[in-house]
Amino acid sequence: MGVSALRMVTAKNVVHAALYLVLVLAGVAGIFILLAAEFLAIVQILVYIGAIVVLFLFGIMLTRAPIGRAPDLDNDQRGVAAVVALFLFGVLGSILYDGFGDDKLPVGEVVRSGDVGDSIFSTFVIPFEAISVLLLAALVGAVVIARRD
């Protein structure tokens, strides 16, 4: 999964990058299953792999007519970007190690999908409604922006 992430940001072919993104997203779904969040894993597969990656492939095909290896996908900040990313990883890693050391995850009651649903429709009902309005606004906005007039 980490390797696919690295291949995704270094791939020379845009479509290959999208396919590596599928691998990473499937890996994240597996991590969710490891963490006993099976509803989230299924949502991840449906929404990300099913919808968002297809959207990306549409975007690639609508904007890059010649599909294939392209040498000009990276700008000239690669070195600086790599240094920044490595530095960030070092900082995050040391902070996480300081904060959580070798804490173990508790093996307790498992969250079932029903609990998540109960929580969404009781505690978080207002954010849920806000999210639905946001999705509608984004949909309308995307149509308006991309409309050919």
Partner 1 sequence: MYLMQFLVLAAFLFCVGVYGVLARKNAVLVLMSIELILNSVNINLVALGVYRGFDQAVVGQVFALFVIAVAAAEVGVGLAVVLLIYRNRASIDLSEVDLMKG
Near partner 1 in 120-139, by CB under 8 A: 120, 123-124, 127-128, 131, 134-135, 137-139
Judged by CB, which is closer to partner 1: 35, or 68? Answer: 35
The per-residue DSSP string of 106-129 comes to P--PPPPHHHHHHHHHHTTHHHHH
Closest distance to partner 1 from the beta carbon of 68 (Å): 13
Helix axes 14-34, 53-63, angle to 10 degrees: 170
Q: Please answer whether residues 69 and 13 qualify as being in contact, where contact means their C-beta atoms are separated by less than 8 angstroms.
A: yes
Measured between alpha carbons, how far is 7 from 12 in angstroms, rounded to an integer? Answer: 9
Number of residues that bind partner 1 (CB under 8 A): 84
Site for partner 1 in 29-58 (CB under 8 A): 31-32, 34-37, 39-40, 43-44, 47-48, 51-52, 55-56, 58
Provide the token pair at 84. Answer: 């920044």
Closest distance to partner 1 from the beta carbon of 51 (Å): 7
Closest distance to partner 1 from the beta carbon of 8 (Å): 7
